[in-house]
Amino acid sequence: MSDNVIVVEHVSKEFVLHHNAQDSLKKRVVGLVHKRWRPKPHIFQALHDVSLTVKRGEALGLMGHNGSGKSTLLTLIAGIIPPTSGRIITHGRLVPMIALGVGFSPDLTGEENIYLNASLFGLKNRETRSLLPKILEFSELGDFIYEPVKNYSSGMYARLGFSVAVHLDPEILLADEILSVGDADFQQKCLARIEELRKGGMTLLFVSHQQNQVAQFCNRYMRMEKGHVVASGNVSDLYRQVT
C-alpha cells in the first residue's frame, strides 16, 4: 500500500462565466431584440498547474486569502467537481467538511439524516446505529435531533454536519474553515476532536486563515494566491517567517 494518500498532478480548473461584465446592458437588450446577440463566455482560471503529495498521517495546511483557490482545490480533491486538466488520486475513506450538511434531506429528521449521510460513505445501518450515541452527544442538539432539519438554524445544521463527519472514522479529512461552526465553546470542541483524530493517524487537509491554527494542527503548509502555489514547506519554517 502506497504511503501517498493524496496525489495532485498538474491540476488546473477553469470555470466558464456566461455573463461577461464587459458586455453592456444596452448591447444585450439591442442584441436580444434583433436576435443577434449571444453572451460571450468568459473563462475564469481558478487553479493553475497545482501539484502536491500528502502522505498517510500528514497534515497539510492550506493558506491564502479569499479567492486564492484553496477551497476550489479541496472541492476537486473531494471529487465534487472534476479538474479541467491534470489528475487527482486519493486512497482511503475521504470525508469532506467543505459545506457541512450538504446531502442532508430537509424533510428528514436529524437522526434520519445521520443514517442517510453515513450510508453515502458506505456505512451499514448497524454500523451507524453503534455510532449514533456519540454523534448525538457531540452535536448537543438534544431533542431537536428528532425534528426535520429544515427547521434547524444554520448553526444547528453545521453542528450536525460536523458531528457526523468526524465520527465516520475518516482516513482523510478535508476541513474548510471549520471555525464557522457554532459558538466559541463548540468550535474548541471541534478542534479538540480533529486533534484527537490526528493523533490516531488520520490524514488532514486543513484550510484556515489563522496561521496559529495551521501551526497547531499541521506539519506542512501550502500558501496559494490567485490559483497558484506561491509557497510551501514545513510549518516550523512558516512560524519563523511570521515571527
Task: Examine residue 5 and state whether it is found in any structural domain, yes or no.
Answer: no
- Does residue 50 have a pLDDT over 60? yes
Helix, strand, or coil (residue 49): strand
176, β-bridge pairs = 207
Q: Is 179 within the bounds of a domain?
A: yes
Read off the pLDDT of residues 86-127 as tens digits, 9 standing for 90 and up. Answer: 999 999 999 988 777 667 899 999 999 999 999 988 899 999
pLDDT of 38: 62
**pLDDT mean over 18-32:** 56
Q: Tell me the one-letter amino acid at 202.
A: M
What CA–CA distance (Å, rounded) separates 87 from 102?
24
Under DSSP, the state recorded for 35 is T
Please give the mean pLDDT across all residues of the chain: 87
CATH number, domain containing residue 191: 3.40.50.300
pLDDT for 116 equals: 93
Q: What is the DSSP secondary-structure string of 77-141?
A: HTTSS--SEEEEEE-S-EEEESSTTTT--TTSBHHHHHHHHHHHTT--HHHHHHHHHHHHHHHT-
Check residue 218 and give its pLDDT. 92
**Looking at the domain assignment, is residue 157 inside a domain?**
yes
Q: 3-state SS of the chain: helix, strand, coil percent to 5?
A: 40, 30, 30
Tell me the C-alpha distance between 142 and 96, whole Å: 25
In a domain, 44, yes or no: no
Indicate the residue type of 139: S
pLDDT digits (tens, 9 = 90+) for 165-183: 999 989 999 988 666 666 7
Tell me the pLDDT band of 240, cut-offs 50, 70 and 90: low
Phi, psi of 115 (to 5 degrees): -65, -40
Q: What is the pTM of this model?
A: 0.83
> For the chain, how many structural domains are there in total?
1
Domain hosting residue 76, numbered range: 56-242
Under the banding of pLDDT at 50, 70 and 90, the label for residue 15 is: very high
pLDDT tops 90 at residue 7: yes
Does residue 178 belong to any structural domain of this protein? yes
Task: Judge whether 117 lies within some domain.
Answer: yes
